Structure 1
Amino acid sequence: MTTATQDLQTDWQRWHDERETTLREPHGWMSLTALEWLDDSEQVITDLPGTWRAPGDGTVRITAGAADGVEVDGTTVDGTATVAPVDGAPGVLVTVGERVVELARRTDSYALRVRDPQAPTRRDFTGVPTFPVDGRWVATGRFEAYPEPRRITVGAVVDGLQHFPTAVGTVTFTLDGVEQRLVALAGKGEGLSLHFRDATSGESTYGGGRILRTADPEADGSVTLDFNRTVNLPCALVAFATCPLPPADNVLDVAVEAGERRYL
């Protein structure tokens, strides 16, 4: 094993360990136990106290008694509390004992998700299977920014939902001697997010695509693409996620046998 190969493996292992530590967090993605859709009616949710309602005015209303132990922003609900989830943003978190109830807005729909540290998916989680780390999957890409970021529309793993990510440009690169191009989405905080399908999708990897996140491009537009760090979206790991699908053109005509494999 060359020094470069050993360094690649060592760095990847550190990154992978951090990734799985995040998945194991008490209220992380592996803790999801329920997904319910709210409407204007007062709904009783199995194993949750009180009632939950989305009246159609951009808010969710929670009605509970003090003894129910429902807390919003650290304050116990005794009557009715109102929260306002933002479309596409992380949900508002409401605590019920050791559980967290996430109230999220997706376009004009309102979802309630329960995050439970005792969830079987979290308790039984032993890691995400991956392809062997290989330097052939590290490429240098060329980022070309759009004149202005573009809000685009993509589908979701839940029928009828849409997501509206921000596309910032394209990344062109070569894999297995073939030039490829992907639409790059704005990353969370910094860098680029490449959400794609490839010839492994639906076979050895999740059919809804995977994501590779990169650092910010250099001044000359170059950007390192380490496909060994391609990850599954939460919907590939648990049944209660509402993940976006890749942009329509983000399909690679090679089998990217790198990164995370099919989990479920």
Structure 2
Amino acid sequence: MTVQSWAQWHAEHERHLADPHGFLAVTSLNFLTTNPRRFPDAPGEWSTGPEGVVVDLADGEALTVDGAAVTGRHAFGVIGERSGVNARAGDAVIEVARRGGFDIVRPRHPDNPLRLAFRGVPAYEPDQDWVLTGRFVPFDVPRDVTVGAAVEGLEHVYESPGRVEFEVNGAPLALTVFNGRTPGSFFALFTDETSGVTTYPANRSLAIDPPAADGTVTLDFTRATNLPCAYTDFATCPLPPAENRLPVAVEAGEKIPYERLTAATRR
């Protein structure tokens, strides 16, 4: 790790957060039922049932789904867990997704004040001491791990292929990991002794590249990131499993967002 490479990574991460239709653009989180409901920030009446999510669009209302204009009644079909469809409504994106066993509608408007006021993410200065070497220890059989969520009453289930063992100042530690976005990679959800002090209380996430042939992995805590729930209450982020509450202060990676610090000073 170099300071320059970290700065480039951090700047790219901030650009991703500021995307016109990213999580900072979300204006509401709506859990669907069989009872059709209308939301002020999305066209149509929305419901869910055996055929999946359905929207009934009134005269003059329209969506664009997969590049095609949609009017009247449209069925999105059954959506898989942690999957979703983005429909367009003018400048907005209407996210239709399934999280924790529930179908949701989550509109994203580029002019959302949270996004417009975004001024970056505070973080610890990069420190090579927090780039650690660990060892991936696979389970005999991958395990389904149930974790809580930022939304009360919601749960997520992730497949865990194993754990990563490492040391901090001679103390043996371990993190249960989940399968990452790319084949062979992992990610870990964790809290530590900085959580609720200088870092977001609920969770942080650490991406881990695939292990070497001998199981060696790199844990670059300087790139530990906040999840969307650190910025908005309209996120359904998973919480770490209990064993991933590290009994050390990981003074690396992203800190409590400015938006949460500002909100805290207003209370």
**Normalising by the residue count of structure 1, what TM-score does the alignment of the two structures yield?**
0.93
- Of 178, 183, 193, 1:185 maps to 178
Q: Does 1:62 align with 2:60?
A: no
User: Does the Cα contact within 8 Å between 1:137 and 1:227 map onto a contact in 2?
Assistant: yes
Deviating 4+ runs (over 6 angstroms): none
User: Does the Cα contact within 8 Å between 1:172 and 1:179 map onto a contact in 2?
Assistant: yes
User: Does the Cα contact within 8 Å between 1:65 and 1:77 map onto a contact in 2?
Assistant: no
- Of 151, 158, 166, 1:158 maps to 151
Which position in structure 2 is the counterpart of 1:135?
A: 128
Which position in structure 2 is the counterpart of 1:233?
A: 227
Which position in structure 1 is the counterpart of 2:68?
A: 75
Which position in structure 2 is the counterpart of 1:38?
A: 32
Instruction: Map 1:155-234 to 2 at 5 A.
Output: 155-190=148-183, 191-234=185-228
CA distance in 1, matches of 2:54, 2:217: 45
Which position in structure 1 is the counterpart of 2:92?
A: 99
1:85 deviates by 5.0
* Percent identical residues: 40
CA distance in 2, matches of 1:192, 1:48: 35
Provide closer, same or farther for how the CA distance between residues 88 and 74 of structure 1 changes in structure 2, counting only shifts above 3 A.
same
- What SS does the aligned partner of 2:27 have? strand
Q: Does 1:121 align with 2:114?
A: yes
1:147 deviates by 2.3
1:74 deviates by 2.0
Structure 1: gaps (5+ residues): 1-6
- Of 6, 19, 22, 2:16 maps to 22
**Normalising by the residue count of structure 2, what TM-score does the alignment of the two structures yield?**
0.92
Provide closer, same or farther for how the CA distance between residues 68 and 148 of structure 1 changes in structure 2, counting only shifts above 3 A.
same
Give the counterpart letter for 1:114 in structure 2: P
Q: Deviations over 1:51-101 (max 9, x none)?
A: 11112x151101114631312222222221011353432321111111011
Q: Deviations over 1:32-51 (max 9, x none)?
A: 11111111111011132221
CA distance in 2, matches of 1:107, 1:13: 34
Give the counterpart letter for 2:131 in structure 1: V
Q: Deviations over 1:196-237 (max 9, x none)?
A: 111111221111110110110100000111100000001001
CA distance in 1, matches of 2:42, 2:164: 46
* Number of aligned residue pairs: 257
Q: Does 1:255 align with 2:249?
A: yes
Provide closer, same or farther for how the CA distance between residues 241 and 61 of structure 1 changes in structure 2, counting only shifts above 3 A.
same
CA distance in 2, matches of 1:66, 1:77: 12
Structure 2: gaps (5+ residues): 261-267
Q: Deviations over 1:12-33 (max 9, x none)?
A: 1111111111111111111111
RMSD: 1.4
